[in-house]
């Protein structure tokens, strides 16, 4: 399994694979891989002939006060994990390869969809995401691209971008992978202190409580949000950014559950901001 740093070399390899009729699967990541990432790679292996994983800590999606400098990085470890699931190629460009001096072109989804939820406290984040994903899509030219439902807002925005900019790519959303105790896997979990790691379980607990209430017929999102907020507040370390119930497409808040819905939350433990969500359908359990 090769690791390529140059855009030109990557493009040449992809062109060769496509000439041979191979379907390309693409898994964009920021590295420091865990089972969540590996599940996307396995999904790609199942659906396509040639799986490319990008490992790139994209500076344009971090705010000025965020964790770009400290974001965990370990290419050797990531290469071994990719190899273990049979990835065909890693694309790990330097920042200067992706954003050469004078770089100034961005792709920005201006809809409300980027301003809700995480967009409210991270106003430039999704512009960085749509820009880098567009660049990566143009470089890799995959047939399928795999994204985790863990970042539900990201999936909704990328799907909209692909539709509106006519990328000839099928987006494949993949389920959230959790630790044995329920915490959603994230590269950022490594930042958590021992106490915060224990208390972070309130996120999953709150979502499960909401799920039970819904199964018992609750459709008032205020009631759900109140319950989840109380559960999260049982942790002394938790500081809520948002707890919301939204439409799965527009990501606008909804007052009453109808059909498909997304319950999304973001909570800070010290400087570590964790997100989690539950996507469901009324009567669809």
Question: For binding to ligand AMP (CB under 6 A), which residues are involved?
Answer: 29-30, 36-37, 39-40, 147-148, 150-151, 174, 176-177, 184-187
Of 25 and 148, CB closest to ligand AMP: 148
- 37 catalytically annotated: yes
Q: Least Å distance between CB 145 and ligand AMP?
A: 9
Closest residue to ligand AMP in the complex (CB): 148
Residue matched to tokens 């965020």: 66
Q: How far is the CB of 150 from ligand AMP (least distance, A)?
A: 4
Report, in Å, the least distance between residue 151 CB and ligand AMP: 4
Rounded Cα gap, residues 145 and 220, in angstroms: 35
What phi-psi label fits residue 241: left (phi over 0), alpha (psi between -120 and 50 degrees) or beta? alpha
Catalytic residue among 34, 37, 125, 204: 37
User: Closer CB to ligand AMP, residue 50 or residue 62?
Assistant: 62
- Decide: helix, strand or coil at residue 52: strand
**CB closer to ligand AMP out of 88 and 188:** 188
Q: Are 126 and 109 in contact (CB under 8 A)?
A: yes
65-104 in b/e burial notation, b at 16+ Cβ within 10 A?
eeeeeebeeeeeebbebbeebebbbbbbbeeebbbeeeee
Contact 274, 200 (CB under 8 A): yes
Q: Are 241 and 275 in contact (CB under 8 A)?
A: no
Q: Rounded distance, CA 211 to CA 226, Å?
A: 14
* Choice between 40 and 139, CB closer to ligand AMP: 40
Using the minimum distance from each CB to ligand AMP, give the nearer residue, 91 or 221. 91
- The rounded distance, in Å, linking the Cα atoms of 147 and 58 is 16
CB of 8 vs ligand AMP, minimal distance in Å: 25
3-class secondary-structure state, position 256: strand
Min CB(270)–ligand AMP separation in Å: 19
Using the minimum distance from each CB to ligand AMP, give the nearer residue, 176 or 243.
Answer: 176
∠232-233-238 over CA atoms, to 5°? 75
* Tokens standing for residue 263: 């319950």
CB of 188 to ligand AMP, least distance (A): 8
Catalytic residues: 37
């Amino acid at each position: 399994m090769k690791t390529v740093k140059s855009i030109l070399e990557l493009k040449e390899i992809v062109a060769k694979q496509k000439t041979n009729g191979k379907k390309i699967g693409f898994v964009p990541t920021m590295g420091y891989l865990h089972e969540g990432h590996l599940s996307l790679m396995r999904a790609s292996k199942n659906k396509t002939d040639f799986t490319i994983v990008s490992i790139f800590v994209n500076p344009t999606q971090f705010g000025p006060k965020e964790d770009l400098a400290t974001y965990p990085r370990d290419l050797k470890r990531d290469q071994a994990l990719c190899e273990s699931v049979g990835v065909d190629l890693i694309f790990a460009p330097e920042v200067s390869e992706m954003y050469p001096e004078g770089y100034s072109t961005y792709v920005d989804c201006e809809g409300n969809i980027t301003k809700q939820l995480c967009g409210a406290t991270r106003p430039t984040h999704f512009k960085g995401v749509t820009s880098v994903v567009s660049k990566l899509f143009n470089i890799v030219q995959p047939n399928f691209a795999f994204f985790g439902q863990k970042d539900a807002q990201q999936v909704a925005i990328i799907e909209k971008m692909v539709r509106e900019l006519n990328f000839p790519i099928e987006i494949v959303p993949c389920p959230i992978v959790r630790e044995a105790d329920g915490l959603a896997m994230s590269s950022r979990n490594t930042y958590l202190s021992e106490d915060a790691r224990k208390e972070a379980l309130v996120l999953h607990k709150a979502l499960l409580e909401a799920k039970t209430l819904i199964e018992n017929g609750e459709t008032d999102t205020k009631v759900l949000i109140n319950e989840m907020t109380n559960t999260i507040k049982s942790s002394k370390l938790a500081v809520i950014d948002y707890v919301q119930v939204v439409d799965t497409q527009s990501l606008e808040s909804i007052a009453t559950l109808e059909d498909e819905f997304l319950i999304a939350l973001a909570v800070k433990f010290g400087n570590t901001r964790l997100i989690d969500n539950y996507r469901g359908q009324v009567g669809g359990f």
